[in-house]
Amino acid sequence: MAEEQAKTSTTEENENPVFRMQKMYIKDFSFENPNAPSVFQAPNQEPKVEVNLKLNNKKLDDNHYEVALQITAKIIDQGNDDKTMFIMEIEHAAAFLMKNIPDEHHEMVLGVDCPTLLFPFTRQLVSQISVDGGFIPFLMEPINFMALYQNSKKESAAAQN
């Protein structure tokens, strides 16, 4: 009787969905401060911020996927002849275990759940790097990956029609 319960328990564990981040890492990073030290001497107004985000994912093996956030941020001092304060590029990635998740859910998990877990760590890295570069913390606004995913699906559907 105990053996049957153990077999049932093992079978259930093998069939239950498993999702977790296994490793985070920086794949690429660049920080440029092209106008130092003069950019620190001029009084700063509200800077102009240009941020681009790209989300990439790839299958590593049957149960592992890599999800990467590529962020490029350019901060411009509008009160100082539009001098560039700094340019930061980072590709921050993580390996995720996705086991027993139905195929129809993979796109959403990779486009919403994975970047939602990864983004707070990426945001912290970007903030700390800007401080280490001599600036105040650059705090990126939180990102609603579900809304981005839904908009992407709507645009894809509209393009097909």
Q: Which two tokens stand for residue 158?
A: 């509209």
Query: What band does 130 get if pLDDT is binned at 50, 70 and 90?
Result: very high
pLDDT at 42: 72
pLDDT (mean) for 90-102: 96
Sheet with 64-77, side-by-side order of all strands? 18-32, 83-99, 64-77, 48-59
Measured in whole angstroms, how far is the alpha carbon of residue 151 from the centre of its chain?
17
Q: Average pLDDT of the chain?
A: 90
Interhelix angle 114-132/145-160, nearest 10 degrees: 120
The residue with greater pLDDT, 3 or 152, is 152
Ordered by where they begin, the domains of the chain are 18-160 (3.10.420.10)
